[in-house]
Structure 1
Amino acid sequence: MGVDAVLMRVERRGTSPKRRRLTPMATALDHDDAFVRLVDQIRGRGTNPMLERIDPYRSLILTSVEMPQFLQELARLRLLAMTTEDLRVVREFEDLARECATNPMLQLHLDGD
């Protein structure tokens, strides 16, 4: 029931969505479901709308434009980290989000099981 993050490069040739190609660039895996547990701790408070959109059974695609807000919310999530695994997962997600923020051709895919 974990959520993994995949940094994807989006290539668009022409205007047709059929010509869109996604290439995985980097991945952060949540083997122990640490990220989902941390998100569940803040769910329902209304202060982290992007994190609350994360569903452990579905995918959420974020663009480079959304990364500043996502990084702010991840920083708040990092404060809840209790174990080294919690901290590792949040930092890896932050690394991918920072990279995504630098390039409009990138997307961050948060993929549930």
Structure 2
Amino acid sequence: MAWLTGASLIFIAGAAVLRQYIDRQNAWFLVLALVLYSLGNLMMVRLMKENGMAVSMSVSAVLQLILVNLVAILFYGERPGNLQASGIALGIVAVILIVMPQGSRS
């Protein structure tokens, strides 16, 4: 869980740095974002090895979905519309279903 959280936070930092690049057009922001995304992907390799690709990527994608929306709302004043908010909620439900323990199969 620590690796997943770390990788997701690094991806969110990369997204925030890219947002700064859009505002300021400074190439160093683009370089930093690429470094952060590369580091996050290297961390994801370990997660996929330990937990499988399907679960690791699904949980990571939705965790990033939630966190990036929080960053966009809190720091950049962006607001998702009703349809977008519904999609975010469905993404959360999807991850809950993916990680939910399954009963034994007979």
- TM-score (normalizing by structure 2): 0.31
Q: Which structure ranks higher in relative contact order (CA pairs < 8 Å, sequence separation ≥ 6)?
A: 1
Query: Which one has a larger percent helix, Structure 1 or Structure 2?
Result: 2
Query: Which one has a larger percent strand, Structure 1 or Structure 2?
Result: 1
Query: Looking at CA atoms only, which structure, 1 or 2, has the larger radius of gyration?
Result: 2
- TM-score (normalizing by structure 1): 0.30
